[in-house]
A and B are shown apart, each in its own frame.
Chain A
Amino acid sequence: MDCSCTLNKTLQHSVLVRVLSLGLLLWLWMAAAELTADASVLPQPWALWAPFAEAVGSGALPYHLGMTLWRVVCAFVPAMAIGMVFGFLMGRFPSVDRWLDPWLVVFLNLPALVLIVLCYLWIGLNEIAAITAVVLNKIPNVATILREGARALDPSLSAMAQVYRMRPLARLRHVVMPQLAPFIAAAARAGIAVIWKIVLVVEFLGRSSGIGFQIHFYFQLFDVAMVLVYALSFIGVMLLVEALILQPAESRARRWRTA
């Protein structure tokens, strides 16, 4: 009885559960590698250390990681900004929504690969085409989430702001944005996860730098270890971005709920 209570309490501890969950994933990887018994198909986790150290030491990993991260930032900022504006307008003005909703459906259902190929064909194999392709892929998702946020704005707060003649900037900052914050956070978290995957495809298809380019290169060499080294390195960076930037920002915006 006591044992089961202690176990329950331990399992409720979120950090411990995360560690256990990741440990389980690692164990599955090790078991699969053992069963495969071929390091060229699936190496053991510890076998990645040497190629990782070599890639870091040569400067290749930091360079390509930096290039991909730069593209993620360049795509994330305009995709969020444009998607937020469109989503907000669609949520607030039904006439705008009626006009733009069919476009949204089209772009939401357009495969990312099609947009990437079209951008490369129309704009050329350059950085602008790569970023444009990622931005166009992400805008509809951000707009969809923000449209829901704009629809959910509390009319009584708008009435209060109107009666007390709050200035437009104050109204935006203190009345509208706090209500949209959870939706912006959701769009940002979903956005960053999707954007870096699309950036990798963009680099795979038409760039000469970045994690996607390196994965393409090592794919041609059938070097699974290096493919894993580059992929896992970037996953690590994105987990750090999530833990150090996105989660603290979200908790700060939600501080009033837990006070």
Chain B
Amino acid sequence: MIKIDVRRKAFGEEEVLRDIRFEMDVGETVAILGPSGIGKSTLLRLIAGIDPAFDGEITRPEKIAMVFQEPVLLPWRSVVENLTLVHPDLGTQAALSALERTGIVDKAGLFPGQLSLGQQRRLALARAFAGRPELLVMDEPYVSLDPTTAEEMLALTEALIAETGPAVILVTHSEAEAHRLARRRLRLAGKPATMIKEFAAGSASASWEGHHDRA
């Protein structure tokens, strides 16, 4: 069980997040929606454990992976090393299998700078799923991709989630992406941002499921 309870997050005097609470099970996908600058990425950083400075408590599993807005690769290491160095227990063969699964095994010996943006994002996905995470945090992973590549990436993500079964928290601007990947959608609004509604996928957008804690 993953429990998010962020009572308050501030940068100096400026309060950014307040009273955001929800729970989710392994295997469940939750999408977080909201306008730009509302604090979605800040919330993800708290959930991923990158930023520990907040009031509240987050219960998260041991194995976490994150797909960032940018691919965030090690540009000075080869494609395959980007997997084996981040996951030292993986082994080269398993790393190559992960690259094969994401369609870039023929690029294994290149540097990330020699890949297209779409290929770099595939590598970021391979890195995220290669460690078989229990919680996967995705911060607008398809931003700045053309529609065809974005659709391919979306399909690949769907397949990889189905294969590995982690809990997924996805931040996105796209209702369509949220609708396709997530069973639950949370929306942030206000200043400081708080969770205003929770929709189940497939429900009418006005249907109110509760403020938090779906227990």
A164-B86, A166-B85, A166-B86 are known contacts. Are A159 and B111 too (CB-CB below 8 A)?
Answer: no
Q: Is B65 close to A, CB under 8 A? A: yes
Q: Is the CB of B68 within 8 A of A259?
A: no
Instruction: List residues of chain A with CB within 8 A of the CB of B50.
Output: 159, 162-163
Q: Choose one: A156, A163, A167, A253; the contact of B88 (CB below 8 Å).
A: A167
- Give the complex CA separation of A163 and B87 in angstroms: 12
**Given contacts A164-B86, A166-B86, A170-B85, is CB(A157)–CB(B72) below 8 Å?**
yes
CB contacts (< 8 Å) of A236 on chain B: these are none
Cα A160 to Cα B111 in complex, Å, equals 18
- Residue A94, interface by CB 8 Å: no
Q: Among the listed stretches B19-27, B74-82, B97-105, B145-153, which one makes contact with chain A, having 4 or more residues with CB under 8 Å of it?
A: B74-82
Q: How far is the CB of B112 from chain A (nearest CB, A)?
A: 8
Give chain A interface residues in 132-177, CB to chain B under 8 Å.
Answer: 156-157, 159-167, 170, 174-175
Count residues of chain A with CB under 8 A from any CB of chain B.
Answer: 19
Set A159, A174, A178, A257: member contacting B72, Cβ < 8 A = A159
**Residues on B with beta carbons closer than 8 Å to the beta carbon of A157:** 72, 74
Distance, CA A259 to CA B110, complexed state (A): 8
Q: Is B182 an interface residue (CB 8 A)?
A: no
Residue in contact with A259 in the complex, picked from B45, B111, B137, CB distance below 8 Å: B111
Instruction: Give the residues in chain B near A170, CB-CB below 8 Å.
Output: 85, 88
* B167 at interface by CB-CB < 8 Å: no
B113 at the interface (CB under 8 A from A): yes
Residue B5 is within 8 A (CB to CB) of chain A in the complex:
no
How would you classify the secondary structure of chain A's contact residues: helix, strand, loop or mixed?
Answer: helix
Asked whether B131 is an interface residue with its Cβ less than 8 Å from the other chain, the reply is yes
The answer, yes or no, to whether B31 is at the interface (CB within 8 Å) is: no
Interface residue B66 (Cβ < 8 Å from any Cβ of A)? yes
Interfacial chain A residues near B114, Cβ < 8 Å: 259
Residues of B within 8 A of A (CB-CB), count: 25
Say if the beta carbon of B61 comes within 8 Å of chain A: no
Interface of B, secondary structure class, is: loop
| 0 or 1 for each of B28-68: is its CB under 8 Å from A? (1 = yes) | 00000000000000000100111000000000000011101
CA distance A159 to B111 in the complex (A): 21
Q: Does B70 contact A (CB under 8 A)?
A: yes
Q: Please determine whether B74 and A162 come into contact, CB atoms closer than 8 angstroms.
A: no
A249 vs chain B, min Cβ distance (A): 14
Q: Mark A169-204, 1 if CB is under 8 A from B, else 0.
A: 010001100100000000000000000000000000
Q: Which residues of A contact B64 (CB under 8 A)?
A: 163-165
List residues of chain A with CB within 8 A of the CB of B85. 166, 170, 174
A163 touching B76 by the CB < 8 A rule? Answer: no
Please name all residues of chain B whose beta carbon is closer than 8 Å to the beta carbon of A162 when the two chains form the complex.
Answer: 49-50
Asked if A99 is at the interface (CB within 8 A of a chain B CB), the reply is no
Would you mind naming 13 contact pairs between A and B with Cβ atoms under 8 Å apart? A159-B50, A159-B72, A160-B66, A162-B49, A163-B50, A163-B64, A163-B66, A164-B65, A164-B131, A166-B85, A174-B74, A175-B74, A259-B114
Residues of B within 8 A of A (CB): 45, 48-50, 64-66, 68, 70, 72, 74-77, 85-88, 110-111, 113-114, 127, 131, 137
